[in-house]
Structure 1
Amino acid sequence: MVDICATPLKPSSAPAPLRPIMRMGTACVGPRQWQDDTVRQIKLGRSVNRRSENDREYGRQHDALPHMRDVLVRHSNTVAFGYVREVRVVVIKLRENLITENEEVKLLLRGKEALEKMLDNMRKDILMNKKCVDIRKTRPKREKDLDEADKTIEMERTELENLKKNLEGHLKITKKHLILMDQSRKRLARVLDERSEVLELICHSRNSIRHDHLLKSQLMSPSSVGGGGMLQNALGMDSSRPNTTTSSTGMKTPKLDSRKITEILAKTANVGDDLLASERGDRGAMMKSGVYTARTFRPLDGERPSTPPLSNLGPYTPEAAEAIDESRDLIEKSRQQRLSIAEAVDEAAREAKRLHNCVNDALTQRLAETITLMQHLSMGEAENRTAYNKNTRHYEMTDVSRGYNLGPVAYSDLQSRERLDRPMVKVYNRHPGTNVPDARDLIRANNQLEDSLEKTQKNLALLHLSNIRIKEDQRDKKAAADIDATIIRFRKKKADHRWVPGEQ
């Protein structure tokens, strides 16, 4: 049994009690249960006291500070500002792609106009080719034989048809690509409008990204600021001030330790790792926590800001990435299409010019040959006319000779020396078998002259017929030459394509 009335031993440093202290459990008069209840209550009070003291000390170390709301508001604003600036990078990227695609659409439209213009020229050339064929069909029958000029015109028509089909294929592809680019532009504009909804309170200029003063505390390098410097700046504290601050009541309170503030923030708001990562410059930790922004690492002058990581709920969404990738792919295909259009148009223009010159050269050569034949026909006609005149004179002279040989019509008009009964002939005929050859030779000469007249008359008829044919041929050649010359003038007149098909 412990004596509760005994005076307990006290250390030398303990103050002297005002009354004697009785030890617990030494009462001998009161009931045992009564004493145990009291002791139990006392022990329970001491336990509660120790627990409250521990909780109070823990609360002093770990409970949220009075300005916790301001810190969280600033941190939330920092996260929001970082997100908005990330969105601004995405918006700028979308806008640049939209502008580039718009310019590419303009260039592709110019290529489409060049294609349509060349196609219009091809159609005009085909119409001109058909017109030339129709004009050449009006030549005289003698000149309608198939020649090299006709073959060249037919070859030109075939080549122009092939060129026209090739250009129509390019035009069809270009129209389809323009439709795809228009859909891509609408998609970019839709994504751009959706991403721009959070940019009402921020400058849209890309150069302002390098002058972000609101995130200056998070963007400062750890080498220039201490471990708690960023947080102090975020909390509005100045490290150059003394460690005591004056409250609104005028009482001086000790300055809070930045490390304890960081620990408190980490355990209460669960954002200390983000702030510490921001202080350390740990890009991976900030990216993992979601606080990382494209502005965290400030780009140098002339350097483009980095694109945020792809995330379904982040600034750079898969829809934006797909829209940008689609626009870039279409822009690249558009550039290749423009190159193929330029090559096709240039090739078509060069080939059409070559074919035009070939046909013109063939028609010019045919015209030159026709004119040469006309000149030879003129010379042949002159020679024929000269021969006809000579034969006519020969016929007349032969006819006169035959008349002379026949002699006068009446016997009484013969001279005595021409008569067969003149004295000399009578004396000569006295012997038998003697006859003069006058009558026989005259008959033979007359027959020869008649044969000569008949042949000359036939020659004159042939010369006349040949002269008629030469004149007809000359007339046909002249008509063919005029037609070929008309076609050449027509082709040279229509070569500039400044004419309307319905007005030719």
Structure 2
Amino acid sequence: MEVQSVPLGSVTVGAASWRDGTVRSVRRAERLVRDTRAGAATALSRPQTTSASVTVPGSAEDTTPELTTPGENDKRTGSGKDENSPTPTRPRTTTTLRWCCPRPAGGAPFPGTGLREACAGASVAAAGGYMRAVRRVEAELRAQAGRVTQEALRLQRERNLLEQTLRSLRSHLGINRSSTTHRTRRDARESVCDGADELLQSERRELLRLKQELEETLSSTLTQLQSLSLSSRRLLACASERVLVLELLPLSGSGKTRGLPGTTPTGPYTPECKEALDSSSSSMKQSQLLRQTIRQKLSSALLRQRAVQQTVNDGLVKKVAETVSLQQSLAVMCGATRQALYRKQREMDLILHSHGRAQGPESSGDVQSREKLDRPLVQVYHRHPGTQLPEAAQLIQGSAVLARCLSSRQAEFDRLRRSSALLHSDLQRKSSAAAVDCALLRMRRRNVDKRAVPVFLQQDALRSSTALSCAQ
């Protein structure tokens, strides 16, 4: 039923203000009826407002000037648009929930009887979706924490290998120190710095250099392990914080992740979780690179350690061979000197016997008659002047020559004896030096514990050395 306004009579009796107030009331009611009927078609598709105003007849709100459209103003006043006339506004909704409610007979929309159930269902759906998203984030965090833990275990094994290699280096440094001390037990004449001592010093420098490099690598490994442990703790802390809203979800299906949601400060995937995942990924990459570096350094250290040890052992073997060669030469020369001494002793005995025969008997009673200078033949021969027999002069000269030969042979004999003594002492020193070097070599070969380094590292180092030798 359409409401129409009744035309007023042409005769005006009442006051103008009285009539205008009534006309305004009628037009306001007519406009409200028309607006209500026009908005009934779109009431179901437009969200309802959360606020409403109720006007009590006769109140102060009812006495306010009516809100009219510009066309009505123009028609009523007969003039253009009024700048001071207020513009009607409609409050906006604060929710996006659409209510499926029937339209009443009067045409005004209102919520249906299932509003609370619809709100509760929407809340359950929102909470379930949020929990599932949180479950995906929590599963990813815990999986990443597991990967970080596995990487930490692998890095820990490399750390153990580093410590074993360092213990091996320290034991080799102790062997080098004891080798240097052991070589001081030689004779003072044999303690001259030689090639073996230089090799031991170079071995010590190389071992100290290797020890410093591996200690720096071990320090980097410990720092990386701390970083991995911190990343694991952060991931588990984020996962524990995320799991606070998962008490009502079943445990099954937690590993089925379909990707992570977007990063929002108040959403399932917070920036803290993203930062923890990114930092753990970078720590894992650094750990993998560090493990490769550790394995390369371990192989290089084993190769260098074995090379310098083999060099020192070869040097000691050469020194022992040189000492044994000199020892053999000394033994041969000692035999030759001893033979010369015996020969010189026999010669001296002969010269001494000849000198004694030339001197004659010790007692005048043992002088034979033919050797006496006062025998009758010599006395008769001396009666003429200038007739002296050469017997006495020749005997004197012969005795003097024999005495000189005896003294020279005695000097040669003394020199041979001193030389023989020196040769014997040098032979003894060489023998003791060779014994010291041989004992040192045996000690080095015995104390090098190859089990201190794992077998697979030794095999890797052996393969590397073989490939390097083939390439050379």
Question: Under a length normalisation based on structure 1, what TM-score does the superposition of the two structures give?
Answer: 0.67
Q: Structure 2 counterpart of 1:493, which letter?
A: R
- Distance in 2 between the 1:454 and 1:113 partners? 79
Q: Structure 2 counterpart of 1:196, which letter?
A: V
Give the match for residue 219 of structure 2: 172
Is 2:136–2:254's contact at 8 Å kept on the other side of the alignment?
no
- Distance in 2 between the 1:39 and 1:439 partners? 195
The offset of 1:325, in angstroms, is: 0.5
Equivalent residue in structure 2 for 1:441, among 391, 394, 407: 394
Matched, 1:120 2:195: no
- Distance in 2 between the 1:310 and 1:366 partners? 74
Matched, 1:455 2:408: yes
Higher relative contact order (CA 8 A, sep 6+): 1
Is 2:173–2:207's contact at 8 Å kept on the other side of the alignment?
yes
Equivalent residue in structure 2 for 1:489, among 442, 445, 452: 442
The offset of 1:393, in angstroms, is: 0.9
- Distance in 2 between the 1:105 and 1:78 partners? 40
Give the match for residue 305 of structure 1: 258
- Distance in 2 between the 1:419 and 1:73 partners? 165
Q: Structure 1 counterpart of 2:445, which letter?
A: K
Matched, 1:395 2:395: no
Is 2:136–2:255's contact at 8 Å kept on the other side of the alignment?
no
The correspondence of residues 201-212 of structure 1 with structure 2, limited to 5 A, is 201-204=248-251, 209=256
Give the match for residue 288 of structure 1: none
Is 2:135–2:254's contact at 8 Å kept on the other side of the alignment?
no
Q: For residues 65-94 of structure 1, give each alpha carbon's deviation from its aligned partner in whole angstroms, at most 9, with x where no partner exists.
A: 244554554444333333322222222221
Count of aligned pairs:
378
Matched, 1:476 2:429: yes
Matched, 1:92 2:45: no
Is 1:139–1:480's contact at 8 Å kept on the other side of the alignment?
yes
SS in 2 for 1:306: coil
The offset of 1:108, in angstroms, is: 1.2
Give the match for residue 377 of structure 1: 330
Q: For residues 94-127 of structure 1, give each alpha carbon's deviation from its aligned partner in whole angstroms, at most 9, with x where no partner exists.
A: 1221111101111111111112222222222212
For the aligned residue pairs, the C-alpha RMSD in angstroms reads 3.4
Q: Structure 2 counterpart of 1:161, which letter?
A: L
Distance 1:432-1:316 versus aligned 2 partners, 3 A rule: same
The offset of 1:135, in angstroms, is: 1.4
The correspondence of residues 398-437 of structure 1 with structure 2, limited to 5 A, is 398-420=351-373, 432-437=385-390
The correspondence of residues 115-194 of structure 1 with structure 2, limited to 5 A, is 115-194=162-241
The offset of 1:435, in angstroms, is: 3.1
Q: Structure 2 counterpart of 1:345, which letter?
A: L
Is 1:83–1:315's contact at 8 Å kept on the other side of the alignment?
yes
- Distance in 1 between the 2:365 and 2:199 partners? 80
Q: Structure 1 counterpart of 2:276, which letter?
A: A
Give the match for residue 299 of structure 2: 346
The correspondence of residues 5-404 of structure 1 with structure 2, limited to 5 A, is 64-65=100-101, 66=112, 67=114, 69-204=116-251, 209=256, 305-404=258-357
The offset of 1:415, in angstroms, is: 4.1
Is 1:92–1:206's contact at 8 Å kept on the other side of the alignment?
no
SS in 1 for 2:427: helix
- Distance in 2 between the 1:377 and 1:495 partners? 34
The offset of 1:145, in angstroms, is: 0.6
SS in 1 for 2:185: coil
The offset of 1:323, in angstroms, is: 0.2
The offset of 1:386, in angstroms, is: 0.7
- Distance in 2 between the 1:497 and 1:92 partners? 46
- Distance in 2 between the 1:203 and 1:190 partners? 21
Distance 1:495-1:53 versus aligned 2 partners, 3 A rule: same
Is 1:416–1:422's contact at 8 Å kept on the other side of the alignment?
yes
The offset of 1:131, in angstroms, is: 1.2
**Contiguous gaps of at least 5 residues in structure 2:** 1-5, 47-98, 102-111, 453-472
- Distance in 2 between the 1:197 and 1:375 partners? 88
Q: For residues 26-54 of structure 1, give each alpha carbon's deviation from its aligned partner in whole angstroms, at most 9, with x where no partner exists.
A: 99xxx999xx9x99999999888777666
Give the match for residue 63 of structure 2: none
Q: Structure 2 counterpart of 1:353, which letter?
A: R
The offset of 1:353, in angstroms, is: 1.4
- Distance in 2 between the 1:320 and 1:52 partners? 53
Q: For residues 230-263 of structure 1, give each alpha carbon's deviation from its aligned partner in whole angstroms, at most 9, with x where no partner exists.
A: xxxxxxxxxxxxxxxxxxxxxxxxxxxxxxxxxx
Is 1:129–1:157's contact at 8 Å kept on the other side of the alignment?
yes
Q: Structure 2 counterpart of 1:152, which letter?
A: L
- Distance in 1 between the 2:161 and 2:363 partners? 99
The offset of 1:198, in angstroms, is: 2.5
Is 1:124–1:497's contact at 8 Å kept on the other side of the alignment?
no
Distance 1:330-1:432 versus aligned 2 partners, 3 A rule: same
Distance 1:196-1:462 versus aligned 2 partners, 3 A rule: same
The offset of 1:64, in angstroms, is: 3.6
The offset of 1:394, in angstroms, is: 0.9
- Distance in 2 between the 1:25 and 1:321 partners? 74
SS in 2 for 1:408: coil
Give the match for residue 61 of structure 2: none
Q: Structure 2 counterpart of 1:408, which letter?
A: P
